[in-house]
Amino acid sequence: MKSILFEKGKEIHKELCEISDFIYHNPELGNEEYKAVEKLTSFLQEHDFEIETEFLGIKTAFRATYDSKKEGPTIGYLCEYDALPEIGHGCGHNMIGAMSAGAGVILSKVLDDIGGKIIVYGTPAEETNGAKVVFAEQGVFDELDVAMMVHPSDKTIESGTSMALYPLQFTYTGKTAHAASCPQDGINALNSVIQLFNGIDALRQHVTPDVRIHGIITNGGVAANIVPDKAIAQFYFRASKKEILDDVLVKVKNIAKGAALMTGSKLEITRYELPNDNLKTNKSLSEAFSKNLRKLGVKDIYEAKDTGSSDIGNVSHKTPTIHPYIGISNCNVTGHSVNMADATITPFAHERLLIGTLALAYTGYDVLMSKVNLND
C-alpha cells in the first residue's frame, strides 16, 4: 500500500513545490496569512476535503476533513504558514504548510479502502500568538489519535522536547507628584518594577537549572522630575516541564505582590500572549516516522534535541504528537534567517519536501493499520 502512497506523492510533488514557493514569495505575518490559507485550502478542496474556514473565529485558521465514513483512527496534520518580519519564511513555514497538506492528500487516496479520518488543521501565528494554543484550550485536538508535522532545518533530527513558556505582564499603578518639591505625595510605580526585578533575580538561586526567566520594562515613566504613576514589565518564564513552570509562577506572583506592598502601588497581573506547554514527543510515533524516513533514503538522522518554545507543545498534552526536523541543506543554515528562507526553494529542498510529505503519510498509514503502539 505504501507503494501507492509513493506514486500519489510523485503525482502531486510539483504542485506541492509550487505551493511552498508561492507562500515563500508571498510572506504574511501571523493572523494575516490570507494568501497562504487560500492556496492551501484550494488544494485540499480539489482533493475532496471538506473545508471550514475562519475556524474558531480565527480569520486565518482552517480545518479540512476527509472522512472515509468507516471506523478507524483519526490522523491530524498541522499546517503552519506565518512569516517573520523583514526576514520572510526564515522558519520554513512555507514548507510545513505544503508538507502537512500534501500528507493529508496522499493518505486520503487509500483511506476509503482502509477506514479512518484525516484532519488537516491550518494553525496561524506560530511565531507569535500561536493558534494551536486556542485549539487545545477549546478541545479541538481531543478528536485526534495522533498529531504530526515536520519542520525544515539544516539537519534531519528526531522529534524532541520544547520548553513550557508563560508570558506575564506586571502593571503597577501609583500616584504622580513633583519629584523635587513634594515627593512625599507620590507613589512610585517604577520602584515597584525595580523591586520586582530584584525579587526575581533573587529567585534565580532557588529554581532548577532548566528554568529561564527574561523580562523588560516597557513603561517606566515620562520624565525624571515626575514620580511615575505607571510602570509595566513583561516577562517570559520557561521551564522544561509545565509542572515546574507552574511552581515558578506561584513564586513570581508572590514576589510581584510583595513589590506592590513595599511601595504602596496597585498591581495588575495579566497574560499578554498565549502560553506554550512543553512538547511531549510520543516515542513510538517518532520511531515510526524515522523508520519511514530511512525507507525513503534519509540515513543521517540526528538524535532528538531540546528547542525553545512552540505551541506544538500544547497539542502534545492532548494527543500523541511528533515534531521532527528534516534537513533541507548540505551546509549549516541558521533558523530565522534569510539564508534559511532561501534554502526552502532550492532543488534539494524540493526533493526533501516530497520525502517529508511521504514520511508523514507513511506514518499516518502505520497508525491506521495499528502498526504503532501509541501507549508509550
Delimit the domains of the chain by residue range: 1-162+278-369, 164-271
Tens digits of per-residue pLDDT, 270-324?
999 999 999 999 999 999 999 999 999 999 999 998 878 899 999 999 999 999 9
Q: What is the pLDDT of residues 202-260, one digit of tens each?
A: 999 999 999 999 999 999 999 999 999 999 999 999 999 999 999 999 999 999 999 99
d(CA 306, CA 283) in angstroms, rounded, equals 15
For domain 164-271, say whether CATH 3.40.640.10 is its number.
Answer: no
DSSP β-bridge partners for residue 74:
117
- What span, in angstroms and rounded, lies between the C-alpha atoms of 297 and 293? 7
pTM metric for this prediction: 0.91
142-158 burial by CB neighbour count: b if 16+ within 10 A, else e? eebbbbbbbbbbbebbb
Predicted local confidence at residue 301, as pLDDT: 97
Per-residue pLDDT reduced to its tens digit, 118-169: 999 999 999 988 999 999 999 999 999 999 999 999 999 999 999 999 999 9
Alpha-carbon span 49 to 42, nearest angstrom: 9
pLDDT number for residue 158: 97
Q: What is the pLDDT of residues 154-211, one digit of tens each?
A: 999 999 999 999 999 999 999 999 999 999 999 999 999 999 999 999 999 999 999 9
Sign of the dihedral defined by the CA atoms of residues 48, 54, 273, 245, in that order: negative
Distances, alpha carbon 370 to alpha carbons 5, 21, 114, 143, 218, in Å: 17, 35, 11, 17, 52
Domains 1-162+278-369 and 164-271 share a fold: no
| Closest to 220 (Cα-Cα) out of 239, 192, 246 | 192
Q: Which fold has domain 1-162+278-369?
A: Aminopeptidase (3.40.630)
Contacts of 133 (CB under 8 A, 6+ apart): 274, 275, 276, 311, 314
pLDDT tens digit sequence for 2-61: 999 999 999 999 999 999 999 999 999 999 999 999 999 999 999 999 999 999 999 999
Measured at the CA of 236, the angle between CA 37 and CA 266, to 5 degrees, comes to 115
Query: Looking at per-residue confidence, does 94 or 375 come out higher?
Result: 94
Whether pLDDT at 376 is above 80? no
C-alpha cell recorded at residue 129: 500568538
Which string of DSSP letters, residue by residue, matches 273-318? Answer: S--BPPP-B-HHHHHHHHHHHHHTT----BPP-EES--THHHHHTT
Q: Which residues contact 18 (CB under 8 A, 6 or more apart)?
A: none
C-alpha cell at 11: 503525482
